[in-house]
Amino acid sequence: MGLTNCSNCQYYNSFPHHQDDICCSVQPAYATMYSKLKDLDSYSINCLPLDDCNDFQLDPQLVEKTITFSLTFQQWQQLARDSSCTSNILNFLQNLKIEYTLSLTISDWQAIANHSYSQPVLQQLEQQQIYPNDLTEAWIEIDSSCINATAYNQQTSILKIRFNSGYEYKYFNVSPNIFADFCAADSKGKFFNQYIKDIYDYSI
């Protein structure tokens, strides 16, 4: 097997004597020569002893192994925090749909419709003929060092933010998802600065 996979070989040396070396305990090679291999014709490559690596052996630690886990959602989250493959697990959880049947009173369902800003939730409630009663905004107190309260109008897509200084700002064309993420953010001020401030048109 050629040097294109040498980094997966058990003889590969990750700490060569020179910074630009690709070192192999069987046959050391310089990176400059390695980088030229792709530009050479097949005859020249075949003439290079550098490309004749008969001792290639895959590092046993790099062999892929597939395991099916049966975990609760909380256990998957814990695994994502504790493992080195966090992005893979988080991508899986982000796209995971969990179906669960809830039995609530009509008033409870109506309360969810009135206070939810999740479009998937509202759409599924609408399929059951449950709609938000009041689309006018209600102020929500915010635990933040710079923001006092916020309000959102689903009908007009206007986000209101009242700062601790007393000033109130209106931000236009803000999607319900942005407002929901804003309310769920650990740091409201950081989320505001990164995803709302200087992005949406506003008025005082």
Please write the tens of the pLDDT for every residue from 54-76: 545 555 666 677 888 898 888 98
Examine residue 53 and state whether it is found in any structural domain, yes or no. yes
Q: How many residues does the chain have?
A: 204
Confirm whether 167 is domain-assigned: yes
CB 135 within 8 A of CB 153: yes
- Domain of 48, in residue numbers: 3-62
- Whether this model's pTM surpasses 0.75: no
Percent helix, strand and coil across the chain, each to the nearest 5? 40, 15, 45
Number of domains in the chain: 2
126 located within any domain = no
Render pLDDT for 81-122 as a digit per residue (tens, 0 to 9): 888 778 888 888 888 888 889 899 988 898 888 878 788 898
User: Does the residue 27 lie in any domain?
Assistant: yes
Bridge-partner residues for 21, per DSSP? 30
Asked whether residue 120 is assigned to any structural domain, the reply reads: no
Cα–Cα distances in angstroms (integers) from residue 46 to residues 41, 43, 139, 195, in the given order: 9, 5, 74, 55
Q: Where are the alpha helices (DSSP H) in 66-172?
A: 73-82, 86-94, 106-115, 119-127
Mark which of 42, 62, 82 sits at the end of a domain: 62
